[in-house]
Amino acid sequence: MRLPGRLGPLRSTPLAARPPGRVRAGPAAGRRAFSRGRLGGTMAEEAKRLAACAAVDKHVQNNQVLGIGSGSTIVHAVHRLAERVKQENLTIVCIPTSFQARQLILQNGLTLSDLDRHPELDVAIDGADEVDSDLNLIKGGGGCLTQEKIVAGYAKCFIVIADYRKKSKSLGEQWKKGIPIEVIPMAYVPVTRALTKNFGGAAELRMAVSKAGPVVTDNGNFILDWKFDKVHEWSKVNAAIKMIPVEFLILGEVRRGVSRTASSDFWRADFGLFRSLVDRVPWEAVLKGKAVQEDWTFFRKEILKAQEQAVPTCQKMSQQGRRPAWQNRELWLKLREKRRIYDLWKKEQATQENYKDVVRLCREKLEGPKPN
């Protein structure tokens, strides 16, 4: 029996029965080992390609806005999407989740857009680093997790492409690099301490390979890889991590140029009551099956409800609402008149000359000497 290429004939003789000198280590043996590894890699790559093509063929339709994820699997999805757009003359708008995704969209001749122009998506397609039996995902191995979550959160349908290597019974069985958490650079030390204190394990700052220092995301942030040491209730952990740190401010009304702000007084907060109220919520049952935006809305509502009961507020004063000292009443009245004439001009109830006269008077007043 002979395999294609340079592998040569396969021998069925047991290794122990071969005469001395027949087992050789050299360039040929190295080539054979490399070829076997390459075949295994090809199988995995083919599995990713097939999964990506199936996702695009099944879920992408004409006149859709698509969220394009990041990672090696998405490369196959974008290639298949480009083929369908060309063959079927589809009208598809693509929203990227990273610089890599943006380049893929442009290189394949697809229509690039953003959330400003298309804030609601039909489908978001992305990969994953690991998927457990409850469909919990670990994402962010490629460092694009924040934008991926944002885009997925505004999609009506979120499709995850994963081959057989990503499947596990519990998170952490296949993916050994930890859960990626994107943090603002100034906060990575306190967030690291909070993670290990509350949930155990170890959180490490992800370091770059081709540059000195840490990995920096497309958003200018750092990434912590949290290697947990036990199986958690991931819905609760996810909610708790988002609460590091917790800070609420409720803006009050502005009266007489003075801003009153009702601020949470954490010095007098009953954190035991707060924790008890949060623990009473059946997070897993309530959030299961909901989209990311629905999850966030419910989560925010429950946290604010618990805050109202456990965290008192105090009034703070600020002078931000006051006019500058040089803006006296006369100038203020002229500016109001200018605004009034402008509105009338837009309604064709005043002439452009009227408006120009008011603008000139205001400019003269502004350019005059300011009182000490």
Which residues does the annotation mark as catalytic? 148
Four-point Cα dihedral 329, 333, 334, 339, nearest 10: 140
Residue found by looking up tokens 């080539």 in the block: 31
In whole angstroms, what is the distance from residue 111 CA to residue 82 CA? Answer: 10
Strands 155-161 and 222-227: unpaired
Return the closest-CA partner of residue 144 out of 180, 107, 111, 98: 98
**Omega before 245 within 30 of 0, i.e. cis:** yes
Q: In which region does residue 304 sit, left (phi positive, over 0), alpha (psi from -120 to 50) or beta (all else)?
A: alpha
The CA R_g of the chain, rounded to the nearest whole Å, is 30
